[in-house]
């Protein structure tokens, strides 16, 4: 059977989606993706643009500057117009769905070399932009229970989580991310981006904006609940939730024998991928059935998984998913997660895969299996298992 391997994985720094303080406030999704396209070909000179069988990009809100994001960015970079480009939408799992698509395409023999990733600009295209919900949904679900923050509160209530647990999880995310940055862990995966600001000044952004070394549990405890009144909230706050962000990530994946023929190195191969559906009013538990399906497909159990990258949309759902899947906190997000690093929606499935690839190449060279998983808005989950070769 044909096998799929990761030859390279890169990403931009992740910036806050803030119109005044955001480090990427003057650039948009095509700019971020273009920087990664240029970098991926520079880093892999044996691979030419004409060798690519497809450019697949996940993006949650495909409107405005993200309309036609894959094809228009490819063409805007002056790359060969005979190479197809596909934009994939599955909310927060958009990039992971794109990864599954290209892996399955390679296995099926539809192509040998693909560029796949994700991008999201939550500043210029805020959540909910140009969206109209079908009223019929209200006949089956309470519309007020569908927003992400409300689902996080519901998960926290059902599993009887405390505010202290959620704040501790968030605090550790920041501490792990800051430690990883201070030790240069992200250096090989993060591509610096030069940004020109409103006053004409320029700055090279080479690190994530979100991780805060100065945060404390005491500081977090002072934050008010973000989605419900204090007397009704389980303690979901801005501090233990992921922020709004801008960012992009990109992977070069190919059929294993093709990589060997080109003399390219790799250390992970695609083992299994799965998606699953859950109650949309508790969307954060999606990684549980998705990961269980992926592990079953791979013939593995939780004990076999050595490294876990779970997207931290909220501390509440991350804690519950890790608990129900049987993963200790120490095994997950060892370089920090989305609460600290950021969660640019459609980018995140690729971002956690890029970081998983980096971790298993450096910090966890003895790890055999790695799992990347994330929850998906409106009640879904996605998971991918990678195996060391």
List, by residue number, the catalytic residues.
92, 343, 375
DSSP type of residue 109: T
- ∠ at Cα 120 (132, 166), nearest 5°? 90
Structure tokens at 12: 């931009």
What does the alpha-carbon distance between residue 389 and residue 377 come to, in Å, rounded to a whole number?
33
Structure tokens at 361: 């190449």
Sequence-distant (≥ 6) Cβ neighbours of residue 125 within 8 angstroms: 29, 61, 63, 64, 65, 66
**Contact between 4 and 107 (Cβ < 8 Å):** yes
What does the alpha-carbon distance between residue 119 and residue 74 come to, in Å, rounded to a whole number?
13
What does the alpha-carbon distance between residue 381 and residue 288 come to, in Å, rounded to a whole number?
8
Angle between helices 148-158 and 315-325 (to 10 degrees): 50
By DSSP bridging, strand 113-121 and strand 193-196 are unpaired
Angle between helices 348-361 and 94-108 (to 10 degrees): 70
């Amino acid at each position: 059977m044909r096998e799929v391997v990761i030859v390279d994985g890169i990403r931009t720094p992740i910036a806050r989606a803030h119109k005044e303080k955001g480090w990427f406030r003057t650039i948009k999704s095509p700019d971020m993706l273009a920087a990664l396209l240029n970098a991926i070909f520079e880093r892999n000179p044996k691979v030419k643009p004409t060798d690519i069988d497809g450019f697949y990009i996940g993006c949650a809100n495909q409107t405005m500057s993200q309309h036609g994001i894959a094809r228009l960015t490819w063409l805007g970079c002056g790359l060969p117009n005979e190479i197809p480009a596909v934009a994939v939408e599955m909310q927060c799992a958009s990039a992971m769905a794109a990864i599954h698509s290209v892996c399955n395409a390679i296995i099926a023999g539809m192509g040998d070399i693909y560029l796949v990733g994700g991008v999201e600009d939550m500043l210029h295209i805020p959540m909910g932009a140009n969206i109209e919900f079908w009223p019929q949904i209200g006949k089956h679900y309470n519309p007020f229970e569908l927003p992400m923050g409300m689902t996080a509160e519901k998960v926290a209530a059902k599993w009887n989580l405390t505010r202290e647990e959620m704040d501790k999880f968030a605090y550790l995310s920041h501490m792990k991310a800051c430690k990883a940055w201070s030790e240069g862990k992200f250096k090989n995966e993060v591509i610096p981006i030069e940004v020109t600001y409103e006053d004409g000044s320029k700055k090279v952004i080479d690190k994530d904006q979100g991780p805060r070394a100065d945060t404390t549990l005491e500081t977090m405890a002072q934050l008010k609940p973000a989605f419900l009144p204090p007397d009704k909230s389980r303690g979901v706050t801005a501090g233990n939730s992921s922020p709004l962000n801008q960012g992009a990530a990109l992977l070069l994946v190919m059929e294993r024998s093709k990589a060997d023929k080109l003399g390219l190195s790799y250390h992970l191969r695609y083992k299994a991928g799965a998606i699953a559906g859950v109650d949309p009013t508790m969307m954060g538990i999606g990684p549980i059935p998705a990961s269980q399906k992926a592990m079953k497909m791979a013939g593995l159990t939780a004990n076999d998984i050595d490294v876990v990258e779970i997207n931290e949309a909220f501390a509440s759902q991350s804690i519950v998913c890790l608990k129900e899947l049987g993963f200790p906190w120490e095994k997950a997000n060892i370089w920090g997660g989305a609460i600290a690093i950021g969660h640019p929606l459609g980018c995140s499935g690729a971002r956690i895969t890029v970081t998983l690839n980096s971790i298993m190449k450096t910090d966890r060279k003895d790890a055999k299996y790695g799992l990347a998983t994330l929850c998906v808005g409106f009640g879904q989950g996605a998971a991918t298992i990678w195996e060391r070769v």
